[in-house]
Amino acid sequence: MTSYTKPSSNFDLSSPSPVYTLNSGHTMPIIAYGTFRSAPGEVGPAVIEAIKAGYRHLDLAHVYGNEKEIGEALKQVFNEGLVKREDLFITGKLWNSDHDVEIVPKACAHSLENLGLDYFDLYLIHFPVCWKHTGLETPSWGKSELGDTPLIDTWRAMEALVEKGICKSIGVSNYPLMLMHDLVTQAKIQPSCNQIEVHVYYQRESLVNYCLARNVSLLIVLIVYRLCMNLILISHIFSPPTIRFV
């Protein structure tokens, strides 16, 4: 039996925006501002206010359909001197219908153009599923047709983005345990993170421990409305006296 020594913490809580050091060597602010389901006309002002409030990590995705408006917001904060590009940590995501090897760099470039940026700090495979390409302006959704590009081939194309300096770090999102194992055992560049949903009612202990043991950081998505619905459902079924809503 081999001994195990717990690694030192990668957290730096001394900076104004506390950061975590990824396995790529780059630091990532530990709290991100998400833009999923942000309505047109609202997401730009919301991003600006988030930056004014101190957020330095923005979590974006092409399929959210709001990259161009966020790009205008970023242009405004840069022009006004609120922050510089290097002050921000920008996460982008590759959508399911853009997994083909020759499409990956085009999809990344398309998102960067929408945002008015030269690089991503972190770029993720959004879901571990390949759909047939439907165009960069029209990402597939709903009734989609499965593609045939293996996940590891998509990852190789992601690795090329790092080698070209287009992305500083790469990772995945919504990967379960077995697919994480497949990836870490085949990857030339290890995934810097796995973005997953975890909360008190969905703890995913095996997946969390697997990632942490391999120095793959976890970006935890806490979907507040879903958690509240779970609390409401449980309170109706069991009526536990200790549950309080705030």
Cα torsion 234, 223, 19, 175: sign: positive
Q: With contact defined as beta carbons under 8 Å apart, do 118 and 86 qualify?
A: no
For tokens 């990967």, name the residue. 175
Nearest to 120 by CA among 144, 149, 94, 142: 94
For tokens 């409030």, name the residue. 53
| Burial category of 161 from C-beta neighbours within 10 Å (exposed 0-12, middle 13-18, buried 19 and up) | buried
For tokens 């995945």, name the residue. 172
- Report which secondary-structure segment, H or E, holds 110: helix 104-115
Q: From the centroid of its chain, how far is CA 130?
A: 18
In the residue annotation, 119 being an active-site residue is answered as no
172, β-bridge pairs: 125, 194
65: left (phi over 0), alpha (psi -120 to 50) or beta: left
For tokens 């919504």, name the residue. 174
Catalytic residue among 20, 33, 55, 64: 64
Question: Catalytic residue numbers?
Answer: 64
